[in-house]
Chain A
């Protein structure tokens, strides 16, 4: 299986309002991340867009529909289409979430929570083996935001992730905001999470904002700037992991591109500062 080449640039998630600027190659970023499913189509403008963007930028493919935690197994048509897109785009890497999306023919199109059990570990490992074989490369697995736990949980999320990485050979896409949201919702210390992550397997970081839901829950809405506590966690993360590809992920209330670039500049500054401090 092909190894992942080192890459530690700064990028943005490409969203529709900003397509023209990305198509023109005018956005000063090191890479862009696109939602894979938006381009897993038969033809037409989406493929024209991805081809043009790829002429200007390295592209990371980020999926939301693989359902890597599905006990019913993966959808082979999905894997076939994703492989076709990957062959076309030649992405930096392919990522998806530690979640499942539906069962028994029903698809929620949401990132549903996993019980963290040994049985689930084996199922996720088996699915990852299948996906990585079909895609011809190791994947990046992203930690989800979570709003419930399961009575049968046998380990914390960070231990589950560490074991999946060890047994499957996959890498990690760490969403720092998701760690913060989940930690608040389930009352654990996010620093403990970061300390347990296998540092040499983290290849990408997502930064985003969240919102306050009812009854004290934080909701991973990705509709706001990265808040200070998430920046603080990011500093801790890059202090431990070293240079890692980092991007701002905004999915709703999309602001002007300049606003996102200003936010990305904060990440660059923090990473540069941390790298300088570590070198000194």
Chain B
């Protein structure tokens, strides 16, 4: 048997395939094979626990590890780096907990914070560069580690409580959908919820629309408000938080 055949058979067996690999092994291989199979499951489960700390705390060890085992069976690792293995765990949890949407939302938050932690470093914006901007045509450039999504539950409040060792609130639906953003400011991953008006402005800007269109989208989201003032406030906030790293 060639090396490539040996490695492919061994891999398929490790991934859970019903393949007999004992014939290609030396004597007393059964006990050693068990060591390798155990190590793969333990390594991947440990990686998920590490990346999804608050989800682990929310579900409890037994339920989390059961979800990890299911994930390992459904989505074997394909990346060279273990740190990518959390990709898709949120989807596994959404399938396992269809009536507990806060679980997948917590997992999204855990994972997005982890990605932001080691994501690309944002450029530093120079305030002097903003002086000559033609704002109507301006395009905002956001921090590369920024992630956002719509949430339906109080997952953000649960995460915050767990992060400081407080008893988390019971899972609950929000009055209406809200946005949740994750980014990194300096070396620190951060997150916060955004209201529907900010979400409309942010989504427009993240689509690469010019600033005039961002203002228009903000006005549509809050027809009774003062869009010029609100957009000005949002711009100042985004700059202060390091969300915007350039304007072109």
Residues of chain A having any CB pair with chain B under 8 Å: 37, 40-48, 65, 67, 70-72, 75, 77-78, 100-110, 112-113, 115, 117, 119-120, 123, 146-153, 185, 213-217, 219
Contact = CB atoms under 8 A, between A and B. Distances in A.
A214 B119 CA distance: 42
B174 interface: no
A119 B2 contact: yes
B32 A147 contact: yes
Contact of A43 (B3, B14, B23, B118): B118
B39 A110 contact: yes
A71 B39 contact: no
A34 B126 CA distance: 35
A42 B32 contact: no
Nearest to B24: A151
Given A37-B82, A106-B76, A213 B4 contact: no
Given A48-B187, A65-B80, A119-B2, A110 B32 contact: no
Interface stretch (B5-13, B90-98, B147-155): B5-13
Nearest to A185: B32
A115 B31 contact: no
B60 interface: no
Nearest to A42: B120
A153 B203 CA distance: 59
Interface in B78-115: 78-83, 85
B36 A103 contact: no
Contacts of B194: none
Nearest to A37: B81
B204 interface: no
A48 to B, nearest CB: 6
Contact of B118 (A44, A215, A216): A44
A40 B81 contact: yes
B234 to A, nearest CB: 25
B119 A107 contact: no
A67 B36 CA distance: 16
B31 A214 contact: yes
30 contacts: A42-B118, A42-B121, A43-B118, A43-B119, A43-B121, A44-B116, A71-B4, A71-B7, A77-B80, A100-B7, A103-B4, A103-B7, A103-B10, A103-B11, A106-B77, A106-B78, A108-B39, A109-B40, A110-B39, A115-B6, A147-B32, A147-B33, A148-B36, A151-B26, A152-B1, A153-B26, A213-B31, A214-B31, A215-B31, A217-B32
A72 B118 contact: no
A147 B117 contact: no
Contacts of A41: 83, 118
B71 interface: no
